[in-house]
Amino acid sequence: MKHDGVVRTNSVASTEGGSTKNLGTHTTRSKVGKGVIKRARCISLRLSEVYIKEYGGVELKGPTLIEGLPDVGLVGVISSAFLVDQLKLIPYGHVESELLPPVMVLHNAELMHPLRLYADKEGSIVVLTSEIALPPTMLMPLAYAVVDWAVRNRVNRVISLNGYPVPNRLDLEKPAVYGVGNGKDAVEYLRKYGVEVIEEGFVAGFYAMLLRETARYRVDAMALLGQCFPKYPDPGAAASVVSKLSEMLGIKVDVKPLLEKADEIKLSMKDLMRQTEESMSGSHKVLEEYLPAMYR
Amino acid sequence: MSDPYGGYIEPLVEVRETGKEIEIYVDLPFVEDSKDVRVEVLDDELEITAAMRRSVRWERWGTYQRFQAFSQYRTRIRLPGDVDAQNARATFRNGVLKVILPKRINKVKVNVE
């Protein structure tokens, strides 16, 4: 046992049909400081653990989980940061893991974890965002932990916000938004809102793992992918994605500030883009450019 | 505090290769006009400098300094092969510079027996 009061055993626990089932030793739920650490599902073979620490203060009511982690064009990060600001979301929790680099962030002299969760006061939206690129080794354990958390908190739907790199992005005035669903219902939901669904291809990265894991636990999940520059932060693509998301969720979000502040956003996210590029080179992201071998 | 970067910042660059050309894309936020961009081919490198429409100042704790102010971009990109610099062309649109450099290809036919 470590000194912070959190029991860390390499137990195997899985969540099935909304309830937690222990397959190994035991799951723990320990109070540490103000928050409560809920044990994420751990796979003993991986010896890697990811915890989601919740601060309390918001009662979740079958929320939509919006994931916006660093990936191509930083579409997810730009979109999620913008949503946090525009919807005036409040800090809900953060992710802790030894797999994360030893980094904390300072904002207005406040020390913060780089991988954070925000929620609205009504408990209907939770946003997962990050200020650092995630190491490829963390993507799978994080997906397990997020889905485990989503199942425990009866998340209604998971929506990943991401980019779809296109070589002719420079010629596109308004980037289109494509969708990927983790099942029939999710695909139907995307089509209902006029999102063109990708039917053939590879998806890679965190959102791919999230789609896979949510499907395992029958949680509807989808990804909204805005046409974007592959290697530059793309606020234009983020604007398209956020517009579509707001239509789907029936919330009002004015994306004009995203476009007006595009230069500022691009410049301030330059370093994160470089980190993300390096990180993506180890996560098989390049597969998204290839055709799958299976014929139909 | 002093600025070790001399007011320059390195832009994000993407290099793509097609059969006959090398395409280089450079993201230049805060650059307004093509007249503010300079592109030069130097042997096996491409040098790009561009002036921003206003100086950008950041406050953050880094290894060297607390404040950074930039008013120009500058970068040198190593070219992946020989190019025909005389026939290079460039456009600047929506804050992105696109440089197309035709490859210099020496094609020699080899007899197959």
SS (H, E, C) chain A: CCCCCCCCCCCCEEEECCEEEECCCCCCEEEECCEEEECCCCECCCCECEEEEECCCCCCCCCEEEEECCCHHHHHHHHHHHHHHHCCCEEEEEEEECCCCCCCEEECCEEECCEEEEECCCCCEEEEEECCCCCHHHHHHHHHHHHHHHHHCCCCEEEEEEEEECCCHHHCCCCCEEEEECCHHHHHHHHHCCCEECCCCCCCCHHHHHHHHHHHCCCEEEEEEEEECCCCCCHHHHHHHHHHHHHHHCCCCCCHHHHHCHHHHHHHCHHHHHHHHHHHCCCCHHHHHCCCCCCC
Q: Does A109 touch chain B (CB under 8 A)?
A: no
A245 phi-psi bin (left φ>0, alpha ψ -120 to 50, beta other): alpha
| pLDDT above 60 (res A23) | no
> Which chain A residues touch B98 with a CB distance below 8 Å?
170
- Provide the mean pLDDT of chain B: 87
Which candidate from A230, A232, A267 shows the least CB-CB separation from B56? A267
What local confidence, expressed as pLDDT, does residue B1 receive?
A: 36
For an interface test with B, which of A263, A275, A280 has the most B Cβ atoms less than 10 Å from its Cβ?
A: A263
Select from B13, B29, B93 the Cβ nearest to the Cβ of A266.
B29
What global pTM score does this model have? 0.82
The predicted structure's pLDDT at residue A26: 36
Q: Tell me what the mean pLDDT of segment A172-182 comes to.
A: 96
Query: CB-CB: which of A170, A232, A263 is closest to B12?
Result: A232
Residue A6 corresponds to which amino acid?
V
Minimal-distance CA residue of chain A relative to B27: A232
| Cβ–Cβ < 8 Å for A35, A54 | yes
What is the separation, in whole angstroms, between the first and last Cα of chain B? 70
Task: With CB atoms and an 8 Å threshold, state whether A232 touches B27.
Answer: yes
- To the nearest whole angstrom, how far is the Cα of B33 from the nearest Cα of chain A? 14
Nearest to B14 among A231, A262, A267 (CB): A231
pLDDT digit string (tens) for A237-289? 999 999 999 999 999 999 999 999 999 999 889 889 988 888 887 666 666 66
Contact check, Cβ <8 Å, B96/A232 = yes
Q: Judge whether residue A1 has pLDDT over 60.
A: no
Q: Do A229 and B27 touch (CB under 8 A)?
A: yes
ipTM: 0.79
Q: Is a pLDDT exceeding 80 seen at residue B14?
A: yes
